[in-house]
Amino acid sequence: MTRLLKPLSKVSSTPYTANIPGSKSFTNRALVIAAQRMGTTIVTNALHAQDTDLLAQCLGQFGGLETEKTATGYRVTRTLETLKAPAEELYVGGAGTPTRFLLSFASMAEGETIVTGNPRLCERPMGDILNTFDKIGVRYECLKTKGCVPVKVTGSRPTTREWPIDGGVSSQFVSSLLILAAQQSEPVTVTVTDNLVSRPYVMMTVQMMRKCGIEVAEIGSNAWTVTPGQANVDEIPVETDASGMSYFLAAAALTQSTVIIPKIGKNSPQGDVGFARVLEQMGCLVTFNEDSIEIEGRPLQGIEVDMEIMPDVVLTLATTAAHAKGSTRVTNIANLRVKECDRIAAPVTELQRLGVGAEEGPDWLAVHPTGSVAPGKIHTYDDHRVAMSFALLGLLSPGIEIEDPECVGKSFPTFWQELERFYAHHEG
């Protein structure tokens, strides 16, 4: 199955207000924090997507824990202080964040929990958190490949209160340990032993824990002490998804139109909000309000930019840059090679397929616009962000065809409907 896109025939001067779902990152964290709280907790404005639904389903497999999908999010009910390990293995598809959170969560359940996923997930590195498990006394077994799922975690309380973690591959390992630390009997210090990639995602975790009443103290730049405790709120609201909004910020930039993103503002902890600043650097006019972000597209200039703190929007930038004047170089993105696909090689390959100049290095990619984008079928690598990013090129260029368009269900199930609404807004 494919989806053929068509260029816009005209552009309206009226601002377009986008409907962006709740943050996937916020939803994942909210679900686990809710699952650690006795009683019933409601997660509101949450993202209903493949990743979040799988995490909710997996949490609901633990004895003493029930999860239910609601119209605006999820209801999580915990009835046992010590949960029972699931009778069947936890299958998380290709969801990296839920996997890393579940590995820690399972360590507090009585019995043995098996966490597994699709073939690509079983290749993605989990060694950093497993190495920490070795040091702190959490028992586990890799059932096939060392450092990868499937992993069997045996319920076993950590034996130390100092938890070191390597932050060079994924910030999700750090967040996973911070949330786990809240379940201990004494304060725990989580320390990143080297470089921490995607730091804003850790700060998002810290902010959410604090808003839920869990005390987290920052000790220096790369260490946090968590005072154990459950959330003291029975409702956890979720902010608009900054990664998802990037596609409609880019749509405004490409079409030189105006887009308003509601329910997210200048104080958002999401690192991907920085994508609006990147577009501003490329020439767009951006306004940050308390509870909205507005962008007015202008002619784009190529830039050089370090994207370490916002890796999930690199693909959006790569396709947007194809219509800039001058080259764009994106640096410090080595960890993109171990995402749902190799997110450095994939955009370079697909841009080249469309006749756009592109090249890559170990931790960088560059886009060299040629003045046009040729028709072509985009291979999406079963990666939602490839599909959504390359769909943007269809706003201006004919013949852009997206393979496996349904893969957007991983993070933005209503993406195609929202894109159609964008077309209808401009074409009437």
d(CA 62, CA 347): 39
- Find, among 60, 105, 66, the residue nearest to 86 by Cα: 60
Please name the amino acid found at residue 215. Answer: E
Out of 53, 272, 312, 383, the active site residue is 312
d(CA 299, CA 235): 43
Cross-strand partners of 84: 63, 110
Q: Which residue matches tokens 């154990």?
A: 228
What is the token pair recorded at 30? 């909210």
DSSP state of 407: G
DSSP state of 411: T
Q: Which residue matches tokens 């841009």?
A: 351
Are the C-beta atoms of residues 76 and 66 closer than 8 Å to each other? yes
Please name the amino acid found at residue 220. Answer: G
Q: 134 Cβ partners below 8 Å, 6+ apart?
A: none
Per DSSP, helices labelled H in 137-198 are: 172-181
Helix (H, G, I), strand (E, B), or coil: what is residue 75?
strand
d(CA 314, CA 24): 17
User: Is 53 an annotated catalytic residue?
Assistant: no
DSSP state of 22: B
- Find, among 113, 34, 45, 106, the residue nearest to 77 by Cα: 34
Cross-strand partners of 258: 296
Catalytic amino acids?
312
